[in-house]
Amino acid sequence: MASNIARGVRVLIWAGLSVLVVMAVAVAASHAPQVDRALALAWLPAIIAVVVLALAAAVVAAAFPWPTPVPGEPTDTEPLIPPPSLPACRRVSPVIAFHALEPRCGSTTLAFNLAVQVAAVGTVAGDRRPRPICLLITGQLTTSLGLDPVPLNSYFLSHRAIVDESVVDLAVRHPSGCELLCVGPDTLNGQRLRLMIPVLRRAYDLVVLEVPSGDRWLTDVAVETSDVSLLIARPTLKSGSAAAAWADRAWERGLEGKLALIVDQAAATQPMPTSLLSGLLHLAVVPDDPVVATNDLKGFPWVLRFESRARDALARFANQLLPDLMNQEADRVA
Amino acid sequence: MSPELAHVLEVADLWLLVLLLVPKRHLGDLRLRLHELSAGRRRWLFEPPRGFGSGRPSGAQRAFAEAARVFELGVPLYVAGRLAEERSAHVRLEARSQWPESVPALLAAHVLGSNGDSELAVQLRARGLPLPAEKVVGRRVEQRPAVGIKWWLERGVDQAPSNPSLHEGDGVHPEDAIEEPSEEPEAPLPVKPQSPAMPPTYLGIDTLGGLGLRHDGHDFGPELMGRPVIAFIWLYLLLRSLTSPKDRVMRADLADELTPGMSPEKQRTRLRNRLSNMLNGWLPAPLAARVVVDHDESVRLDLAQCSIDLLRLEEMAAECVAKEGLMSADLVDAATALLDESAGEFLPGWEQLEKEVNGARGAAGDLVRQLRQRAETARIDLMGTLAANLIARQEPSRAIPLLEQALERQPDREDLARKLRAAYLETGQHARAAELQKDHALDL
C-alpha cells in the first residue's frame, strides 16, 4: 500500500516536471535562435536513441517473461538485508546469550534455530557434528516442543550450592542433534547461571542461552559469562530506546565489542528507527517471515525449511558468529 | 505545423530520452541490491512488478507493469536489473533442486518423522556426512583420591611431563595407588590418624581424608562414629559452623534435618531426647562441651580453641596467594606438608552416614559438597602458588607436574593454564604450550 502511494507520488512529480521542462524549453526556443538551432540538430539523434532504448527494453522484457511464482517465492516487497557484521567467537565451547529488548521479538525462536542450524550443518574438527545446548525460556515455542521447566527448577531446589554434571541429563535431545533445556520464570539467577555455565561448556560444543529479562544481576552475569550477547530487537521505537540504554551501558563498561544487535522481523514497509541502528558496533538483520510463525506453532525449526526467508539470514549470521563450528559445508548448503 | 508545436515535439523527444535514461529511484544501496540479487538472496531488484503473483495477469497488464518499471528505473538499470533478477531466479531454482539432498532437508524429514534414525543414518553415511550428535550423558565425576604432593614434586623433569597417560588416565600413579589404598566410600567416615602438635586443651578436628577428633592425645572420632545419630547431629552443627559461622541453627531446622517428613511434634521430641543423650554421657565429654544449646531455641558448636584442618588449609592457601609468587623456604615446607596431609576428600563417607540416619533426604549433603569444593579450591590455590614459586626460582620443570595436576582437577582455571604455558615455554616445550593455548583459548 505504502509502496503504491510512493509510486503514484513519483509519477505525479515526474509528469509535472516533464510538462514544465518541455514548455519552458519550447518557449525559450521560440525566442532564442541558438536554442532553436540546437533543437533542430538534436531531435533526430534523440528519436533514434529513444527507439533503440525502447527496443532494448522490449527485447529484454520479452526474453525474460515473468516466471510462475513458486511456493515461498516473495510476491511482496522484500526488505534489503545488509550483510551481518558480528564478532567471531573462536573460543572452545562458546556461549551465546540472547537478550530480548521487548516481548515477542523472537529471541526464543532465534536461539532455538541457531542451535539447530549449528547441530545440523556445523562440524567439530571436520569429523563430527557439534553438540549444542539451548536454554529456552518457557513459552509458546517450548510448549510446542514439549519442553517442561519443572525438571530444571527441581534440580536447582535440590542442588543449592553446586551444579554437577547430572544437569546434563535434564536436557532433551531434539532430533536435529541439539539439546534443549526449558527455563521457568524464576528458575535462573546469577549464581545458578555462573555455576551452570562451566558444566555445560565441558559437556557441549556450544551453549545458546536465552536470558530472562528483568533480573539485572542475571543479565550482568549472562553478559559476563558469554562470548557474545545478542540483543534481539524489532524495528520499533520501543526496541530503539532499549537498545540505546544497552549501548550506553556497553560503552561505559567496555563491552561494546561483545554486544550485537539483531533486528528481527524487518519488513520493507516498516523503516527501522535510527535510534535502533546507532550506538552498537555489530548488527544483523533478520527479515519478517510468515514461515517462522507457522513453524513455531508446530515446534518445527524453520531453519530447516527451504522457503523460509529468515533461514538465509540466520545461516549467514551463524557462519560469521561461529566460524569454527560452521564450516564450508554449511556455506554450500545455505 | 506551427513552429511552436514543432519546438514542443522536439523538446518532448529530448525529454523522453532523458526519462528513459535516468533512474527515478534512490540508488544509494544499488550495489548491495545487485549483489544480493546475483547471490540469489533477493528475487527482485526493488519490488516485484505490479500484478506478479496475483492470478494470471493478461499480456496488456504485464506490458503496462513492465513499462512502468522501465520508466521508473530507466532503460540501462532496467536491463541490468532484469538480467540480475534472472540470475537470481536461476540460482534459487538450482538451490531448490539441490535442497532435497541437503542435510537440512534430510533432517527436516527426520524431525517430521518421515524417516527414522536408521534411515537417516544410511542417507547421511551414503553422502559421507557425519550423523547428528547423540544425547550427551552427564559424566559422573567422582572425587578421586588426590595424589600425594611428594610424589608430584619428586616426579622430576625427566619422568612424566611428556607422559600422555597422565592426561588420559585418572591421574593416579599406579605405585601410589598400591601404596595408598583408596578410601572406601562405603565405610562411614574413616578415622584419620594424624596429630599435628597443638595445645592439649585444643580440640583438633580433622575432616580431610577421614574424621579425627583429637583432644589431649586421644582421638574421639571412632567413638563418635559408633553412634550414627549423635555423630550426624554433631557433624551437622560442624558443617553449619564451617559454612556460615554467624548463622544460628534453630532447633526446628535441626529437627527437620534429622527426621525429615515427621510431624513437628515428633521431630522436636526426638531431637530433645537426642540432645539430652548427647549432653548426658553419650557423647565424649570434650565433644559434648562444644555443644551449646542457647535459650533462643538455637543450637551451635563452640569452635573456640579448635584447630580445623580445612580452615588451616584455607588460611595457608590465602597466605601463599598473598605472596604473589616468591615464598620463603619455611612457607614452602609448611605448604607442602599441609598439602600432603590434606590430600583426602572432606568427610569421605558422609553420604553413607546421612543415608543411614535420615535416608539422605536432608540438605546437609549440599553443605558437604560446598565444603569439598572449598577444600579443593584451596588445594589447587596452594599448588598454583607452589608452582609459581618454582617458576620464580627458575625451576619451571618442577612446576610443570604441579600445574598439570592442578589444571586437570580444575580445568576452568585460566590463571593456572597461563602459568603452565609459561612453564612449558621456559622448558622449550613449544608444541605443548601451543596446544594448551588452543585448548584454553588463552589470549596472548
Cβ A232 vs Cβ A102: under 8 Å: no
Interchain proximity A121–B7, CB inside 8 Å: no
Instruction: Give the pLDDT band of residue B187 (cuts 50, 70, 90).
Output: very low
Chain B residues close to A74, C-beta within 8 Å: 43-44, 48
Interchain proximity A60–B83, CB inside 8 Å: yes
- Residue A3 has its nearest CB partner, among B47, B133, B137, at B47
The chain A residue lying nearest B366, using CA atoms, is A161
- Residue A10 has its nearest CB partner, among B10, B24, B92, at B24
Q: For testing the chain B interface, which of A11, A19, A25 should be mutated: the one with the most B CBs within 10 Å?
A: A25
* Residue with the larger pLDDT of the pair B53 and A103: A103
Cβ A153 vs Cβ A134: under 8 Å: no
Interchain proximity B139–A131, CB inside 8 Å: no
Instruction: Give the pLDDT band of residue B352 (cuts 50, 70, 90).
Output: confident
Q: What is the Cα–Cα distance from A113 to A136, expressed in whole angstroms?
A: 11
B74-84 pLDDT, tens digit each? 889 999 988 88
Matching CATH number, A95-333, of 3.40.50.720, 1.10.3720.10, 3.40.50.300, 3.10.310.30: 3.40.50.300
Q: How far is B329 from chain A (nearest CA, A)?
A: 36
The chain A residue lying nearest B65, using CA atoms, is A61
Find, among A224, A233, A133, A129, the residue nearest to A173 by Cα.
A133
Q: For testing the chain A interface, which of B10, B120, B125, B243 should be mutated: the one with the most A CBs within 10 Å?
A: B10
Cβ B233 vs Cβ B258: under 8 Å: yes
Q: What is the Cα–Cα distance from A133 to A151, expressed in whole angstroms?
A: 16
Type of residue numbered B112: L
Q: What is the Cα–Cα distance from B174 to B197, expressed in whole angstroms?
A: 32
B205-220 pLDDT, tens digit each? 988 888 888 888 888 8
Which value does ipTM take for this structure?
Answer: 0.83
Chain A residues close to B42, C-beta within 8 Å: 78, 80
Distances (CA, A) of B346 to B141, B183, B339, B353, B379: 16, 12, 13, 14, 12
Q: Which cell numbers hold the place of B265?
A: 511434634
Task: Please provide the distance, in angstroms rounded to a whole number, between the alpha carbons at the two ends of chain B.
Answer: 86
Q: What is the Cα–Cα distance from A330 to A294, expressed in whole angstroms?
A: 25
Chain B residues close to A69, C-beta within 8 Å: 52-53
Cβ B121 vs Cβ B110: under 8 Å: no
The DSSP line for A216-252 is HHHHHHHHHH-SEEEEEE-SSHHHHHHHHHHHHHHHH
B357-409 pLDDT, tens digit each? 888 777 888 888 889 989 989 999 999 999 988 888 888 888 888 888 888 88
Interchain proximity B138–A165, CB inside 8 Å: yes
Q: Write down the pLDDT at residue B165.
A: 38
Distances (CA, A) of B292 to B255, B276, B442: 16, 12, 51
- Residue A49 has its nearest CB partner, among B17, B105, B108, at B17
Q: How far is A52 from chain B (nearest CA, A)?
A: 10
B87-140 pLDDT, tens digit each? 888 888 888 888 888 889 999 999 888 888 888 888 888 888 888 888 888 766
Which residue has 533478520 as its cell numbers? A286
Q: What is the Cα–Cα distance from B84 to B45, expressed in whole angstroms?
A: 8
Interchain proximity B139–A61, CB inside 8 Å: no
Chain B residues close to A176, C-beta within 8 Å: 107, 110-111, 132
Interchain proximity B135–A73, CB inside 8 Å: no
Q: What is the Cα–Cα distance from A193 to A209, expressed in whole angstroms?
A: 10
Chain A residues close to B371, C-beta within 8 Å: none
Which residue has 510476491 as its cell numbers? A75
Q: For testing the chain B interface, which of A134, A306, A307, A309 should be mutated: the one with the most B CBs within 10 Å?
A: A306
Residues of chain A with pLDDT under 70: 1-4, 69-75, 327-334
Q: For testing the chain A interface, which of B136, B367, B436, B437 should be mutated: the one with the most A CBs within 10 Å?
A: B136
Q: Which cell numbers hold the place of B424?
A: 612449558
Chain A residues close to B94, C-beta within 8 Å: none
Q: What is the Cα–Cα distance from B74 to B252, expressed in whole angstroms?
A: 87
Q: Which cell numbers hold the place of A272?
A: 527501522
Chain A residues close to B23, C-beta within 8 Å: none
Chain B residues close to A79, C-beta within 8 Å: none
Mean of all residue pLDDT scores within chain B = 80
A232-247 pLDDT, tens digit each? 999 999 999 999 999 9
Examine the pLDDT at B195 and tell me if it is beyond 60: no
Q: Write down the pLDDT at residue B37.
A: 87
- Residue A30 has its nearest CB partner, among B7, B9, B108, at B7
Interchain proximity B367–A167, CB inside 8 Å: no
Show Cβ contacts of residue B167 under 8 Å, excluding neighbours closer than 6 positions.
B404, B408
Show Cβ contacts of residue A105 under 8 Å, excluding neighbours closer than 6 positions.
A232, A233, A234, A239, A264, A265
Half-sphere exposure at residue A153, Cβ-oriented, CA atoms within 13 angstroms: 12
Q: Write down the pLDDT at residue A303.
A: 93
Q: Which cell numbers hold the place of A306?
A: 527451504
Q: How far is A226 from chain B (nearest CA, A)?
A: 14
Interchain proximity A14–B92, CB inside 8 Å: no
B360: alpha, beta or left, given left = phi > 0 and alpha = psi -120 to 50? left
Mean pLDDT of B416-432: 87
Q: For testing the chain B interface, which of A1, A22, A317 should be mutated: the one with the most B CBs within 10 Å?
A: A22
Q: Write down the pLDDT at residue A333.
A: 45
- Residue B135 has its nearest CB partner, among A56, A90, A179, at A179
pTM score of the predicted model? 0.60
Chain A residues close to B44, C-beta within 8 Å: 74, 77-78
Share of chain B above pLDDT 90, in %: 4
Cβ count within 10 A of residue A63: 10
Burial of B443 (0-12, 13-18, 19+ CB in 10 A): exposed
- Chain A and chain B share a number of CB contacts under 8 A equal to 219
Cβ B220 vs Cβ B212: under 8 Å: no
Q: Which cell numbers hold the place of B53?
A: 503473483
The angle that helices B3-21 and A33-63 make with each other, rounded to 10 degrees, is 40
Chain A residues close to B132, C-beta within 8 Å: 119-120, 129, 175-177
Q: Write down the pLDDT at residue A314.
A: 94
What strands, in cross-sheet order, belong to the sheet with A179-183?
Answer: A172-173, A179-183, A132-137, A206-211, A95-100, A228-233, A259-266, A282-287
Which residue has 610424589 as its cell numbers? B151
Q: For testing the chain A interface, which of B5, B11, B33, B123 should be mutated: the one with the most A CBs within 10 Å?
A: B11
Burial of B393 (0-12, 13-18, 19+ CB in 10 A): middle
- E runs forming strands in chain A: 95-100, 132-137, 172-173, 179-183, 206-211, 228-233, 259-266, 282-287
B284-324 pLDDT, tens digit each? 888 888 888 877 788 888 888 888 889 999 999 999 988 87
Interchain proximity A119–B72, CB inside 8 Å: no
Find, among A190, A198, A181, A193, the residue nearest to A134 by Cα.
A181
Interchain proximity A121–B104, CB inside 8 Å: yes
- Residue A119 has its nearest CB partner, among B29, B48, B132, at B132
* Residue with the larger pLDDT of the pair B442 and A139: A139
Three-class DSSP category at B191 = strand
CA angle B397, B403, B185 (to 5 degrees): 130
Q: How far is A178 from chain B (nearest CA, A)?
A: 7
Q: What is the Cα–Cα distance from A189 to A212, expressed in whole angstroms?
A: 9
- Whats the size of chain B, residue-wise? 444
- Per domain, the residue ranges of chain A are 2-63, 95-333
Show Cβ contacts of residue B28 under 8 Å, excluding neighbours closer than 6 positions.
none
Cβ B196 vs Cβ B217: under 8 Å: no
Type of residue numbered A26: A
Q: What is the Cα–Cα distance from B87 to B160, expressed in whole angstroms?
A: 63
The DSSP line for B342-353 is T-S-BSTTHHHH
Chain A residues close to B22, C-beta within 8 Å: none
Q: How far is A213 from chain B (nearest CA, A)?
A: 27
B125-184 pLDDT, tens digit each? 888 888 888 888 876 655 555 556 665 666 554 444 444 333 333 333 333 333 333 334
Find, among A90, A130, A119, A109, the residue nearest to A262 by Cα.
A109
Cβ count within 10 A of residue A132: 30
Distances (CA, A) of B333 to A276, B193, B215: 61, 21, 26
Chain B residues close to A318, C-beta within 8 Å: none
Show Cβ contacts of residue A85 under 8 Å, excluding neighbours closer than 6 positions.
A281, A282, A283, A284, A320
Cβ A208 vs Cβ A98: under 8 Å: yes
Cβ A137 vs Cβ A108: under 8 Å: yes
Q: Which cell numbers hold the place of A312?
A: 538465509
Cβ count within 10 A of residue A12: 10
